[in-house]
Amino acid sequence: MTLYLQKQQSSVTWPEPLESTWRLLGGECACELAPKLRHLGLADILFMTTIMNLPRNQRPWGIVTWMSDVFLLSRPALYALSKRVKQRLLPEPDPPALPTPEKQSPTIEVTPVRVARTVLTTSLPGKTAIRPLRHVLGEAFDQTRSIGWISQLLTAAGRQADCILHGVDTSPLGTVIAARDETFFQGHPLLLVIDPVSTVILFAQVTSDRQADTWGAALLIAQEQGVTIGGLVEDMARMYAKSQEEAEIDVPVQKDVWHIQRDGSQVLRDLERAAFRATRQVIKLEKQLLRQWDDNLFDEKYVPAVTKEELRYGQHAEFGEWLSHLIDALELVDWRSGETRDRAINEWLLEETLTAISDIDQLRVQKWVKTLRRHQSQLLTSLDWLEASLRPYRKQLAQIIPDNQQESFIRAVARHWRLQQALINGHCSFRQPAQDAKVTLQSLVADDTQRRQMAVMLLGLLDAACRTSSMIEGINGLLKQFLHNHQAFRSPETLQLFLNLFVLWHNMRIFERGKRQGKSPYQLAGIDPGTDDWLALLGYPAK
């Protein structure tokens, strides 16, 4: 009779007492120590654990392989099982607890300066109105302040911000192509002038009107602190042209092409809706004729309706085709080749396009073309600015890159810039061409420091040749968020004081993303106000 029926027999035998111990194990199955190994009993597991925990120099040679064959377990399983059983039977004692110093919760010293900094930071950039600010102070410091106290603090800070802004020297900017625009709040015009490259706000004022003389004064005040306006980017407001006469300055003007493209797209949608209305009229008449045929209805209404429908769809198709040519005529860089556009070619294309669009006999189209004709001479000024800046750049580039490689280098950088602009504006279809252009530029620059510097310089020149007022529109949108959260101001004076705070905060805030990441507008412009903390300038330094 075999005592260990479920075990695989082996020809290997071991001297006493190991052999006799193994034969006396019995044949019970299942154990709490290894519930998943149903063929092993408690005696089997303890036997294996005993052998596996013998010192290696005392363990018989080959015993692990033998137990693996006998107990139907792999060698790693034997080691793991032994370790697990040992941990359960002989748990390790907990290490002696080390004396830990009592943790003291940090205490915040609530000083008047800290409260003031919290109020100003919660306002800018926190966009919090005065009444909710009281709850913030109560939750943060277990203190509160009255509405009058908070209002007085913001008023005093606004006056101090006005003094600081008037003392800033903007001459490091040199000659800039400035963008100007106005927005409205509570019926008051807010006039803004900025440098689109560094985004520094050069002028921001609440005024009673936005007439030509007011804008002329704004341009003169913007230059009083050192900057020189060498060009203007603006929309098609009628008072802009006369404002230069009032200020007795004469600088080239680039009309914003983004508004042109937006308005052109709106005209295209209007033509499409007109075509759909014509189709609905034709369908309506067809239903009437199907119910009861009427020769007079067919001749007098249905035939003219079909003719009108064909005319409307034809106008829509024709306008859409010429609109694409118009947008192409306003380009600074050809996105396909990276070629910087020639002024003469773009002027020819613009003239041909406007002439063709003028032939479309539709009131909405005619009104739009009339506006473009009035400002046609100021639609391609950015090409002049770019050409003027490229002349010295090419001379500097000739000292680094051979003549036969200069044009391909310029086109590679320009194409990369143009496609990146397309991605920024949300044109996702350009993602793959933009990636290819980036790879091409990287292969040209490689690890050459001089080429990399020249590429960065050209990207800056392309940014400086502004065609749109998108940057100032973005700042207007940001300002509106703060103003709407405050809901109302007691007077234009208090609105101006808050605008002063916004301008100082914006000019000193650090951009968190984008190509300007890590720097403030003042830092990008090379302007040093004495500190990077706008609250410290207001008299509330951080401790």
Does residue 94 sit within a domain? no
Q: Is residue 205 part of a domain?
A: yes
Residue 388 covered by a domain: no
Q: Evaluate whether residue 43 is within a structural domain.
A: yes
Please indicate, yes or no, whether residues 456 and 492 belong to a single structural domain of this protein. Answer: no
Q: Domain for residue 130, yes or no?
A: no
pLDDT for residue 421 is more than 60: yes
Global pTM reads: 0.76
How many separate domains does the chain show? 4
Q: What pLDDT is recorded for position 229?
A: 95
- Assign residue 210 the CATH number of its domain: 3.30.420.10
Average pLDDT over residues 516-541: 94
Shared-domain flag, residues 273 and 244:
no
pLDDT at residue number 457: 95
Of the ranges 4-13, 143-152, 380-389, 480-489, the best mean pLDDT one:
380-389
- 294-302 mean pLDDT: 94
Residues 261 and 372 in one domain: yes
Boundary-marking domain end, from 467, 497, 521? 467
Same-domain check for residues 189 and 238:
yes
Q: What is the pLDDT of residue 26?
A: 61
Domain encompassing residue 450: 402-467
Say how far apart CA 119 and CA 130 lie, in whole Å: 9
Strand ranges of the sheet holding 253-255, from the earlier edge strand across to the other edge:
201-206, 188-194, 175-185, 228-234, 253-255
Across residues 306-315, what is the average pLDDT? 96
DSSP secondary structure string, 30-99?
A: --TTSTT-TT--HHHHHHHHHHHTS-TTTSPTTHHHHHHHHTT--HHHHHHHHHHHHHHHSPPPPPPPPP
Domain contains 153: no
What confidence tens digit (pLDDT) does each residue in 49-68 have? 888 888 877 787 778 888 88
H or E segment and range at residue 140 = helix 130-141
Both 504 and 527 in a single domain? yes
Judge whether 395 lies within some domain. no
164 and 242 fall within a common domain: yes
286/309 Cα distance (integer angstroms) = 13
Last residue of a domain, one of 444, 467, 490: 467
Residue 250 shares a structural domain with residue 167: yes
Mean pLDDT of 347-368: 96
| Same domain membership, residue 353 and residue 267 | yes
pLDDT of amino acid 72: 79
Compute the distance between CA of residue 83 and CA of residue 75 in angstroms, rounded to an integer.
13
Specify whether 365 is located in the same domain as 266: yes
What is the structure's pLDDT at 70?
Answer: 79
